[in-house]
Structure 1
Amino acid sequence: MASPAAPKANPYSISQTNSQRLNFSQIFSINFPLFSDPRSTRLVSVHCHNPNLDSVKMDQTVSGFGSGSGSSAHSHTPSPPSAAIDFLTLCHRLKSTKRKGWINHGIKGPESIADHMYRMALMALIADDLPGVNRERCIKIAVVHDIAEAIVGDITPSDGVPKQEKSRMEQEALDEMCKVLGGGMRAEEIKELWQEYENNSSLEANLVKDFDKVEMILQALEYETEHGKVLDEFFLSTAGKIQTEIGKKWAAEITSRRNSRLANRPN
């Protein structure tokens, strides 16, 4: 979440212990780093039903993402139900992990990562048709663009993690999540969509990046209204960075509503 908030303690840390166990089954486990605080490595142990995950070593703790064997060929057969449920259970963290920028500003009960992605997907659904833009692909990109945060958490500028390092952490987390899914066509599609957004390499990615900013300032306006706060930095951090016409129009409408609210605010 893009927010220049001052560094604070990580109040939403997923675990207070050195490892956390997701009890999917008792067949075997894989371990990989969990960055609930991106400046310190934790380990999460994922118990999976699927014994056919590529490049997974049973009961082995790894010191970093990508330290196992290289990528292997992906099957084009559907993922078994066990792998699908393991993956979805891991994605539960997107529902339970709160967006850190709001926590840093004292917002009680703030939105989760999944909340943010869901409304972005709705933005893609209701946006006017644009020449050369695939609406379905926009929806898919919105759904997966922050999916790696199920493992790394919501890394903000206040964490002091360089952009390149953040991208590396998220890429390796995504690879691990796709191993849990069991590889195959759906896993490859998720990787492709995520990389497209990360590299801003298409019209669809460009539009969804605007939705990311627009959704954030809309949420900021809502929290200002609900909590009586002034959250200027979220508006300042996105000013001049929205590129598409629909993004600019929506941002202008949000800003107009905010200005009216501030003008009528009792002194």
Structure 2
Amino acid sequence: MLKKMTNSSLHNLVKFFETAGRLKRTPRAGWIEIGIRQPESVADHTFRTSILCMIYADMEGLDQLKLLRMALIHDLPEAITGDLTPSKKTKESKEREDAAIKQILDLLPKKQREKYLTDWNEYQEGKTEEAKAVRQLEKLEMALQAKEYEKARSTGQSLKRFIKSAEKAVTRPELRRLLSCILEERQR
């Protein structure tokens, strides 16, 4: 496929990679909001969420590739929009996010653009087993990060709201057990 791409299409592919790379410099807004010094980036969060998805899908017999694609693109629009905490999300910000994912994916060849947009929409709708799993694993990753910030004493503020958010979102029994383990370690 790359061999057959025009120079213009190859340049668009490079732009896509550069746009995705912006996530390495996009800090997670929730951590900034509570005063975490040097918070993780969206790319940091995406990386560990992807690791969680890879292992979980393999252990539970889910479509590993689909989980990985969803994990890798779930926050991709934030390369343009920036990260927003759930309390700051509005109908308008959702529309900006929808426009951003289309703008980013428009840099890809049609086949890939359509596949990744389908995956992104599936994640957003949150109805399939894969989408539900990624959404819960993403919250599990947040709880793990909160525990790490607490252990490092990165802030004087409580990170309980992040833990509560994860406890509410994580409903799969096997993931609840994993979350319980994270919370037990938090108390040590």
- Normalised to the residue count of structure 1, the TM-score between the two structures is 0.63
**1:146-225 pair list within 5 angstroms:** 146-159=75-88, 161-162=89-90, 164-179=91-106, 181-225=107-151
Q: State the Cα deviation string for residues 203-224 of structure 1 (Å, max 9, x = none).
A: 1110000111000010000001
Whole-angstrom CA distance in 1 between matches of 2:52 and 2:186: 20
The runs of at least 4 consecutive aligned structure 1 residues that moved more than 4 Å come to none
- 1:182 deviation in Å? 4.1
Whole-angstrom CA distance in 1 between matches of 2:153 and 2:131: 32
Whole-angstrom CA distance in 1 between matches of 2:52 and 2:127: 20
Q: State the Cα deviation string for residues 70-112 of structure 1 (Å, max 9, x = none).
A: xxxxxxx757321110111112211100001111111111110
In structure 2, the residue matched to 1:64 is none
Whole-angstrom CA distance in 1 between matches of 2:112 and 2:17: 13
Q: State the Cα deviation string for residues 27-61 of structure 1 (Å, max 9, x = none).
A: xxxxxxxxxxxxxxxxxxxxxxxxxxxxxxxxxxx
Structure with the higher fraction of residues in strand conformation: 1
For residue 106 of structure 1, what is the amino acid of its counterpart? G
Q: Could you tell me which of 237, 248, 253 is aligned with 2:181? A: 253
Gaps of 5+ in 2: none
**1:81-92 pair list within 5 angstroms:** 81-92=10-21
For residue 256 of structure 1, what is the amino acid of its counterpart? E
For residue 130 of structure 1, what is the amino acid of its counterpart? E
Q: Is 1:110 matched up with 2:36?
A: no
C-alpha RMSD of matched pairs (Å): 1.8
Whole-angstrom CA distance in 1 between matches of 2:134 and 2:186: 23
Whole-angstrom CA distance in 2 between matches of 1:189 and 1:114: 21
- 1:123 deviation in Å? 0.5
Q: Percent identity?
A: 32
Secondary structure, counterpart of 1:98 in structure 2:
coil
In structure 2, the residue matched to 1:237 is 165
Residues matched between the structures, number: 180
Secondary structure, counterpart of 2:127 in structure 1:
coil
Whole-angstrom CA distance in 1 between matches of 2:160 and 2:108: 44
Whole-angstrom CA distance in 1 between matches of 2:163 and 2:137: 14
In structure 2, the residue matched to 1:144 is 73
Does the CA-based 8 Å contact 1:118-1:143 persist in structure 2?
A: yes
Whole-angstrom CA distance in 1 between matches of 2:178 and 2:20: 30
Of 85-94 and 181-190, more deviation after overlay is shown by: 181-190
In structure 1, the residue matched to 2:64 is 135
- Normalised to the residue count of structure 2, the TM-score between the two structures is 0.88
Whole-angstrom CA distance in 2 between matches of 1:135 and 1:119: 15
- 1:183 deviation in Å? 4.0
Q: State the Cα deviation string for residues 222-264 of structure 1 (Å, max 9, x = none).
A: 00111254311111222232122332121111111112x3xxx
Larger Cα-atom Rg: 1
Secondary structure, counterpart of 2:35 in structure 1:
coil
For residue 16 of structure 2, what is the amino acid of its counterpart? F
- 1:166 deviation in Å? 3.2
Q: State the Cα deviation string for residues 7-43 of structure 1 (Å, max 9, x = none).
A: xxxxxxxxxxxxxxxxxxxxxxxxxxxxxxxxxxxxx
